[in-house]
Structure 1
Amino acid sequence: MHITVIGHICNDVIHNPDGEEVKGYGGIYYSLVSLANLLDENVIIYPVFGIGSKDYNNLIEDLSKYKNIDTSGIYKTEGQTNTVHLYYQNDSHRIECSLDIAKQIPFKKIKPYLDVNMLLINMISGFDITLETLDEIRIAVRDEGTPIYLDLHSLTLGISEDGKRFRRPVSDWRRWLFMLHAVQMNEEKAAGLSIESKDEEYLIKQITSLDTNNVIITRGANGCTLYKDVHKKIHKYEYKIENNIKTVDTTGCGDVFAAAYCAKYLYVKDVEQSVEYANRVASFKATLSSSGELKKLSEYRIKNNKKSEK
């Protein structure tokens, strides 16, 4: 099996409430390395993104320890790799500043990696691909029925002149959310996606009418909700997390959730099982510090087409 992962990488600088500063790879790195640790080595992962030329060799060396990552889709870009400063006020609320956001990933870079079993598109910066590129991807994989999983991530964020990110509605959100296997967003993004209404269930009806049958709303410490359209009837499933989880760092939890969902879905082709698994893996990620500890996700590795042992 094969899966392609699309989205911007960045260098994270995490400023914790206690003043501690943690640096590491961020952005699509969370989804990519999570997949590498959750999937067997015979499932090949194709990341497609650019990285600043001075950071290229170090990244390729870092990823070389994962036999299931094919790095041929990673390319060098001019200028600096995007640096993201994350200022945490508490475990879940933060101020984000982005510097040197990369150019959008062109379709010509993505096209060679579309003959796969699943596509994960994570809008890390919100400018990772254009809407036109997403349309080209949809058209290219439509006949094969390849599932596309879209994590909205920063699509709902604008950017000020000083690099601060701020929430704003997306005027053409219907075109973004058309004809997808599943779309993921947190509850704050769901409330601000459209200028029409902040009502969540109204939004879900609008999204599922676009031939996107699965909508996942993540809720931090409160777990997540799956809305699933079955023959024009919407079913709602709630997933909680364990009460005894000690949160260390929530950075990348949504990216890990998306990766875990796709990893599980590749094997079982079951939406509810995949969400349940993703919820568990993402909550475990919250107990880890920075992207440097993602290797610990291998405790949840899916083996031999069977349910995860953990």
Structure 2
Amino acid sequence: MTLVVIGPVTKDLVVIGDEKSQRIGGATYFQSFVFEKFYNDYLAIVNCSDEDLINHFPDNGKIKAILKDDTHFFENTYPDKNNLDIRHQLSNFASIPILKGDLENLLPEKIDGFVINPLNRYDFPIETIDFLKTFNVPIFMSIQGFLRVPKDKVNERYTIKLSNFEELSYILSGASAIFLDEAEKNMIGDDFDVDEMVITNGSHGSRIVCDEEIKIGAVKCDDVVDTTGCGDTYMAAYISQRLLLKSPENAGNFASEIASQKIKNFGPYNFNR
């Protein structure tokens, strides 16, 4: 059986202080490096206009591309290199939705679960979510993308506004776990039919709301290099352990450790360390 991880791959510009670098990004990209190490039976499905982007994944034999007419672009700016909890973003807000018809011939016969990684509200129409729910397997969802809408235009890009919307409760209903940060939690509340809510708070750690509330401390890291993709790394590490039947607390502590290892180097988690 296979874990199916779905969401855009991106072309990114990362600005840390005065240093700029072009990167490959997207939650599915960062997560694939974690799953490669800790839950090797996975398939990543990405939407983009450039099929060559899959060559940047750890195993492009486990990647399938849905070719669209655009690719997501993000500019991630960290103005203070000594405080990488603060990030400003711009995006092109590519409208390249993943449709039921895109997925029907790509999915494996037997599926362990789905990981849904929207980067903006266009990525996963409700009809696609409904289709994935028919498989009756665990579904893990990142929330931030569902909340992202364009705000102000800046040099052909847009600043990002987070906005709740009426259909979100329906989209999340029945999820095994949803992943969000404290600001997003304050925006959407907690009246959702989900098994677990995993709430991250950067260097302040995280908490898991299930039958109880479990607080997870951040693993101290004195050499923070790159926090882009840290939340995606945490999410994948947590999911890998829950699918291996670890407790939420054990999964959270493991995810915190893996996220702390990721931020010590540029780019995705280095599973060869």
TM-score (norm 1): 0.78
Residue among 195, 201, 216 paired with 1:213: 195
Structure 1 CA distance, aligned partners of 2:144 and 2:222? 24
Structure 1 residue 102, shift from structure 2 partner: 4.3
Pairwise CA distance, 1:66: 2.2
| Corresponding position of 2:271 | 297
Q: Residue 268 of structure 1 aligns to a residue in which SS?
A: coil
Match of 1:94 in 2: 87
Gaps of 5+ in 1: 194-202, 230-234, 300-310
Distance 1:248 1:98, change over 3 A: same
Q: Does 1:21 align with 2:11?
A: no
* Structure having the larger proportion of residues in helix: 1
CA distance in 2 between partners of 1:50 and 1:66 (Å): 17
2:101 maps to what in 1? 108
State the TM-score, normalized to the length of structure 2.
0.88
Counterpart of 1:38 in structure 2 is 38
Structure possessing the higher radius of gyration over alpha carbons = 1
Confirm or deny: 8 A CA contact 2:5 2:43 kept in the other structure: yes
Q: Does 1:223 align with 2:205?
A: yes
Mapping for residues 208-287 of structure 1, pairs under 5 Å: 210=193, 212-229=194-211, 235-287=212-264
CA drift of 1:266 comes to 2.5
Contact in 2 for aligned 1:81/1:101 (Cα 8 Å): yes
Corresponding residue SS for 2:166: coil
1:62 equivalent among 56, 74, 77: 56
In structure 2, the CA distance between the partners of 1:94 and 1:4, relative to structure 1 (3 Å rule), is: same
- Give the corresponding residue for 2:124: 129
Partners of 2:219 and 2:151 in 1: how far apart?
A: 38
Alpha-carbon separation, structure 2, partners of 1:100 and 1:174:
23
In the other structure, the counterpart of 1:166 is 161
What root-mean-square deviation, in Å, do the aligned CA atoms of Structure 1 and Structure 2 show? 2.0
Pair 1:157-2:157 in alignment: no
Question: What per-residue deviation string (whole Å, max 9, x for no partner) do you get for residues 229-272 of structure 1?
Answer: 3xxxxx01001023344221111111111111122222235333
Q: SS where residue 221 of structure 1 aligns?
A: helix
Secondary structure of 2:227's counterpart equals coil
SS state at 1:262 partner: helix
Q: 1:7 to 1:60 in 2, by over 3 A?
A: closer
Gaps of 5+ in 2: none
- Secondary structure of the 2:210 match is strand
> Identity over the aligned pairs, expressed in percent?
19
For these two proteins, the number of residue pairs brought into alignment is 263
- Determine the structure 2 residue equivalent to 1:179: 174
Q: Is the 8 A contact 2:219 2:256 kept in 1?
A: no
- Residue aligning to 1:75: 66
Q: C-alpha distance in 2, partners of 1:178/1:149?
A: 11
| Distance of 2:231 and 2:177 partners within structure 1 | 14
Which of 172, 183, 188 pairs up with 1:188? 183
